Structure 1
């Protein structure tokens, strides 16, 4: 039986990829006030960003429970005895801890579950998951699937230009990018993920320059293996960025993807970014 891949909804992988590779996605929960909505199940990207623009409530998020993970792992037990469960950085969420509790609860059933802290999030996590899923689909052993994920972790970079750091600040996920706080309003911060937390990359003066800088960062390695392009809440802009990148990166698998509700809580609308998987 093939190794099964489990991840969480912050991977932001498009549904067609999840289905193609048979990846199991455990949803986080997004709250508007007291209303709880499962990310990607009860609320998708389009509905989330539309609501974000009109809501008086600042949304918040919650990690999946250990019970939800237990149900997922036990549900896969009929298909496999080996699972690789890959999740967003433990410095940003307690999701991995919930998965760890669930693994301990089902350990007696002969199910071998390998947990991986990706030390990244969103489409960076998605690229790590995709590499593991590709290995699993070829019939690779548990050890080789884990190795594929860890190799990808060393080669993934995420860059995002945000309109404001306010969502990250209020959500408590700003990390070292707090050094950008207090900048004049016209400055557009570009942040990344390093060692599992949000870090400052640079500041630019206009939205147009932010767009160009993201493009420059995305194309600096002309032979990256894979790349996801995104603009939160704007499918047309996402498609346009992906098309522009494809034109200059003929050897890179460039795909558009929407950032889902959980990640959107911390980035807000109009964030523009790329996740890059560099070659071996």
Structure 2
């Protein structure tokens, strides 16, 4: 019996990798002017072009129960064990919903084997967990071995990002008005991270150029005496900046860097022009 990996759309794993590794993705939803759309069905360029015109920040909701149930049922009905890896339980009800679906399936099929894992993060910090688990599953790793693997990656990974402006964090209620105003006036650039499942400030610098240098500096610091497992450059509607940062990392570390845009569920709270890196070390 093989193990299959299921994750949610806020992992932002490139579609080609999901196809190659047979990773199933359930989509969160974005609510714009009372209209709900699956995140994976939204055109990113159009969304970020329209985002500044919205009177309020779009909201999001977890995957529909029907989509979640269908995804798990397909895998278990095909005879697979399932490892579900979802965004932080402190950020969304998706993790909780996955547990409800698991219980429902087990009531109907006692032979089904499902484990639900809280990534305690989002974006490709979570995506790297799903990718490495899927690779190991293809090599025949057991479900218990995969749980140990994703736990290890979670404990040895980091997601650092810096927003172009604090306006979206302010509108989304993620920071206080005074902090947003201060940052915009003094051009303070916060570098944010995710710790224990919640977004927090890693450090602050004065310019975006210094923020980019700090991202690379921290990556190299975490790598001292260790091996890089994987690294991703994230951007929100600023592909050229993402490519430049990826090239810097590739040149300095002699490694391949994935470049991936961030979708609306996470992106609407951080805003266009934001850039960051997700990585894990062995």
Q: TM-score, normalising length from structure 2?
A: 0.91
Unpaired runs of at least 5, structure 2? none
Per-residue deviation, 1:182: 5.3
Match of 2:72 in 1: 73
Do the aligned partners of residues 101 and 58 (structure 1) sit closer, same or farther apart at CA in structure 2, a change above 3 Å counting?
same
Distance 1:168 1:87 in 2: 23
Distance 1:170 1:107 in 2: 41
Match of 2:87 in 1: 88
CA contact (8 A) 2:10 2:266 kept: yes
Question: SS of 1:273's equivalent?
Answer: strand
Question: SS of 1:77's equivalent?
Answer: helix
Unpaired runs of at least 5, structure 1? none
Match of 1:273 in 2: 276
CA contact (8 A) 1:67 1:102 kept: no
Per-residue deviation, 1:124: 0.6
Distance 2:233 2:183 in 1: 27
The count of residues paired between Structure 1 and Structure 2 equals 275
Match of 2:96 in 1: 97
Per-residue deviation, 1:39: 0.8
Per-residue deviation, 1:46: 2.5
Match of 1:26 in 2: 26
CA contact (8 A) 1:180 1:200 kept: no
1:124-135 equivalences under 5 Å are 124-135=125-136
Match of 2:14 in 1: 14
CA contact (8 A) 2:76 2:113 kept: no
Per-residue deviation, 1:55: 3.3
Per-residue deviation, 1:47: 2.8
CA contact (8 A) 1:5 1:83 kept: yes
Distance 1:156 1:248 in 2: 19
Per-residue deviation, 1:58: 1.9
Per-residue deviation, 1:172: 4.6
In the TM superposition, structure 1's runs of 4+ consecutive aligned residues that sit over 4 Å from their partners are 177-182
Greater CA drift, 13-22 or 160-169: 160-169
Per-residue deviation, 1:169: 4.3
Greater CA drift, 143-152 or 72-81: 72-81
